[in-house]
């Protein structure tokens, strides 16, 4: 059924509504000091490239001090830059340069857990009586010595690890080296808010909050019930991982989190900062809506409902419609994405072996037509496929544990190809931390800059064209009922009424338009031809028109 959500009237400070956010994975963007790992000066050097894409903001994945067991998502000092990436002065320079180019800066914040090398955890694990004793989630063993309940780690196995010094288990929803902070202990909440404040004082414009529905746990430590189906929406949870065998009712997405998110929003409002929360949950769409409702929690949220293997008009339509249905209850705003540093790159996942630049162009046009803001993961603008990383070069502990059924996340984290130069593509002067994919070199930034028909140039044209449309950036959304493989939607605000039709297949299709439509030009997609109300779309083609 068609869905219409509230049409928000943005203020001058609501730049984030309909914004395009470019995700940068620092380790793989640009190495400037010759150690094979990307760094903050490397990001700064390429900010003009990012600005030329036409995005509104960058999101930088973690660069904080860390033992790198999970590549920065295990923080051991929230207020400093890991030497791998540079210094605080390098970060300050990056922010200043981004602002000069008109780019907002969002940074990752990992509040739900820290590294086990953090000073807080080192103190907490020593005894049950020191001043950090309650800063993490501790529980006694059951009478037979086993963990206190059946909760599972996202990365496989029990979410509990034994600490002999306290003779208790501690909770880790991710790696054992990532113990969960105890948000039921108010000093922890206070401290994490101060960690956020530290970076706002340095000029950041907002945050991407990692695993933001994991802050609280059930204090009664009740067992999770078994899943009714092993199919869940969080695509990073792989077949063979027992995590998918439970409904995660008690270990995340707890109601107490709403109160903390309100505290967080109050703090961020002092600085005019913006938040986008990552929600990994069976019911992620409802949680996303709840976390962004009423204007007093997160500004935006995203989940993993479009990170699945299924690529169809029906899937995209049903996901967006369900989210819009939840939004009706309290407003809110989504932030869509098709790829990030945790999943198989979208042109591989949805292309099913098809290597066609037209698919990469179609996907960003489709994504940019959905109601909400959206993220582009570095390399998407080049149409990069998933890289093949041999087992002996794997670094991701998740992939190593589940090989060969799941090859981990390294294949979407390989270095950015700036040039076609072999073997390192201009990323580094030495062998990179992950191998440069040979298949990426022919799709390098330099190669595509020289080709006016490239995916890169299409991104630049389309994002500039979209930015001029109030309907596409902030309008309401309706979906027409169409057969596969056609996705048709309408975006409207005031007198600006746009119909978008996409052919999600490698075969030509014919679609009868529902009303008279005046074709729009300048978006760059191959719109085929129109004969009256009959629209003939080429493979991976797309049409934009103004309804008259």
- 250: Cβ contacts below 8 Å, ≥ 6 apart: 149, 151, 217, 218, 220, 221, 222, 223, 224
| Tokens coding 266 | 């109050």
Do residue 523 and residue 427 come from a single domain?
Answer: no
Exposed, middle or buried: residue 322 (CB in 10 Å: 0-12, 13-18, 19+)? middle
In this prediction, residue 405 carries a pLDDT of: 84
Do residue 432 and residue 398 come from a single domain?
Answer: yes
Residue 229 counted as domain residue: yes
Q: CA 158, CA 137: separation in Å to the nearest integer?
A: 14
Q: What is the CATH number of the domain that holds 377?
A: 3.20.20.80
Rounded to the nearest 10 degrees, how much is the dihedral formed by the CA atoms of 26, 111, 238, 175?
Answer: 90
**Beta-carbon count within 10 A of 310 CB:** 10
Do residue 450 and residue 315 come from a single domain?
Answer: yes
Q: Which helix (H) or strand (E) holds 209?
A: strand 206-209
Exposed, middle or buried: residue 340 (CB in 10 Å: 0-12, 13-18, 19+)? buried
Domain-terminating residue out of 463, 486, 501: 463
Residue 433 counted as domain residue: yes
Do residue 451 and residue 422 come from a single domain?
Answer: yes
Residue 148 counted as domain residue: no
- Number of structural domains the chain divides into: 2
In this prediction, residue 404 carries a pLDDT of: 86
Active site residue 442: no
Q: What is the CATH number of the domain that holds 535?
A: 2.60.40.1180
Do residue 503 and residue 455 come from a single domain?
Answer: no
Residue 96 counted as domain residue: yes
Catalytic residue among 144, 270, 392, 405: 270
Residue 137 counted as domain residue: no
Q: CA 172, CA 180: separation in Å to the nearest integer?
A: 5
Catalytic residue among 90, 176, 180, 210: 210
Prior bond to 423 cis, omega within 30?
A: yes
Q: CA 52, CA 101: separation in Å to the nearest integer?
A: 9
Residue 48 counted as domain residue: yes
Do residue 444 and residue 532 come from a single domain?
Answer: no
Residue 15 counted as domain residue: no
Domain extent for 491: 475-547
In this prediction, residue 235 carries a pLDDT of: 46
In this prediction, residue 354 carries a pLDDT of: 86
| 88 phi and psi angles, rounded to 5 deg | -60, -35
Do residue 287 and residue 424 come from a single domain?
Answer: yes
Do residue 445 and residue 493 come from a single domain?
Answer: no
Do residue 513 and residue 379 come from a single domain?
Answer: no
**pLDDT tens for the chain, residues 1 to 548:** 344 444 444 455 799 999 999 999 999 999 999 999 999 999 999 999 999 999 999 999 999 999 999 999 999 999 999 999 999 999 999 999 999 999 999 999 999 999 999 999 999 999 999 999 999 999 999 999 999 999 999 999 999 999 999 999 999 999 999 999 999 999 999 999 999 999 999 999 999 999 999 999 999 999 999 997 655 544 445 667 899 899 999 999 999 999 999 999 999 999 999 999 999 988 999 999 999 999 999 999 999 999 999 999 999 999 999 999 999 877 899 999 999 999 999 999 999 888 899 999 999 999 999 999 999 999 999 999 999 999 999 999 989 888 888 889 999 999 999 999 999 999 999 999 999 999 999 999 999 999 999 999 999 999 999 999 999 999 999 999 999 999 999 999 988 999 999 999 999 999 999 999 999 999 999 999 999 999 999 999 999 999 98
Active site residue 270: yes
Do residue 453 and residue 479 come from a single domain?
Answer: no
Packing angle of the helix pair 186-201, 257-271 (nearest 10 deg): 30
Closest CA to 445 of 471, 425, 467: 425
Domain-terminating residue out of 440, 463, 486: 463
In this prediction, residue 353 carries a pLDDT of: 83
In this prediction, residue 250 carries a pLDDT of: 98
Do residue 365 and residue 457 come from a single domain?
Answer: yes
Residue 479 counted as domain residue: yes
Q: CA 6: distance to chain centroid?
A: 24
Domain-terminating residue out of 441, 463, 485: 463
253 to 52, 56, 176, 216, 286: CA distances (angstroms): 38, 30, 21, 7, 11
Do residue 489 and residue 377 come from a single domain?
Answer: no
Q: CA 452, CA 454: separation in Å to the nearest integer?
A: 6
């Amino acid at each position: 059924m068609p869905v219409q959500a509230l049409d928000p009237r943005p203020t001058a400070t609501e730049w984030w509504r309909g914004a395009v956010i470019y995700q940068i994975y620092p380790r793989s963007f640009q190495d400037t000091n010759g150690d094979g790992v990307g760094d903050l000066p490397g990001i700064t050097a390429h900010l003009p490239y990012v600005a030329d894409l036409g995005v509104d903001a960058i999101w930088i994945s973690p660069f904080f001090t860390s033992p790198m067991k999970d590549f920065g998502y295990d923080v051991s000092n929230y207020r400093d830059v890991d030497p791998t990436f540079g210094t605080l002065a390098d970060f300050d320079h990056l922010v200043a340069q981004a602002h000069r180019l008109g780019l907002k800066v969002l940074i990752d914040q990992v509040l739900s857990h820290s590294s086990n090398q953090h000073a807080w955890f080192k103190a907490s694990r020593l005894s049950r009586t020191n001043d950090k004793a309650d800063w993490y989630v501790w529980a006694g063993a059951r009478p037979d010595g086993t963990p206190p309940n059946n909760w599972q780690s996202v990365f496989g196995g029990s979410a509990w690890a034994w600490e002999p010094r306290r003779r208790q288990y501690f909770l880790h929803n991710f790696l054992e080296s990532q113990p969960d902070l105890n948000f039921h202990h108010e000093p922890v909440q206070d401290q994490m808010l101060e960690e956020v404040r530290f970076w706002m004082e340095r000029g950041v414009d907002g945050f991407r909050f990692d695993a933001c529905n994991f802050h609280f746990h059930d204090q009664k430590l009740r067992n999770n019930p078994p899943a009714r189906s092993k199919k869940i929406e969080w695509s990073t949870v792989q077949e063979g991982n027992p995590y998918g065998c439970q409904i995660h009712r008690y270990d995340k997405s707890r109601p107490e989190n709403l109160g903390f998110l309100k505290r967080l929003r109050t703090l961020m409002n002092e600085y005019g900062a913006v938040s986008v929360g990552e929600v990994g949950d069976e019911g992620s769409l409802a949680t996303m809506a709840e976390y962004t409702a009423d204007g007093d929690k997160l500004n935006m949220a995203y989940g993993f409902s479009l990170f699945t293997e299924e690529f169809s008009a029906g899937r995209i339509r049903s996901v967006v419609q369900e989210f819009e249905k939840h939004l009706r209850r309290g407003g809110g705003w989504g932030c869509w994405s098709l790829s990030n540093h945790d999943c198989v790159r979208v042109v591989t996942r949805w292309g099913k072996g098809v290597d066609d630049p037209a698919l990469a162009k179609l996907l960003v046009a489709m994504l940019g037509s959905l109601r909400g803001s959206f993220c582009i993961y570095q390399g998407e603008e080049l149409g990069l496929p998933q890289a093949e990383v041999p087992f002996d070069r794997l670094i991701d502990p998740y992939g190593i544990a589940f090989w060969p059924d799941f090859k981990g996340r390294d294949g979407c984290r390989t270095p950015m190809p700036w040039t076609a130069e072999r073997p390192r593509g201009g990323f580094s002067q030495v062998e990179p931390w992950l191998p440069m994919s040979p298949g990426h070199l022919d799709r390098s930034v330099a190669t595509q800059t020289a080709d006016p028909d490239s995916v890169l140039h299409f991104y630049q044209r389309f994002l500039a064209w979209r930015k001029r449309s109030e309907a596409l950036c902030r309008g309401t959304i309706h979906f027409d009922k169409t057969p596969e493989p056609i996705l048709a939607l309408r975006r409207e605000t005031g007198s600006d009424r746009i119909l978008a039709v996409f052919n999600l297949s490698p075969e030509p299709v014919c679609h009868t338009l529902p009303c008279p439509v005046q074709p729009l030009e300048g978006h760059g997609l191959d719109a085929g031809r129109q004969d009256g109300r009959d629209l003939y779309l080429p493979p991976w083609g797309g049409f934009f028109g103004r309804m008259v």
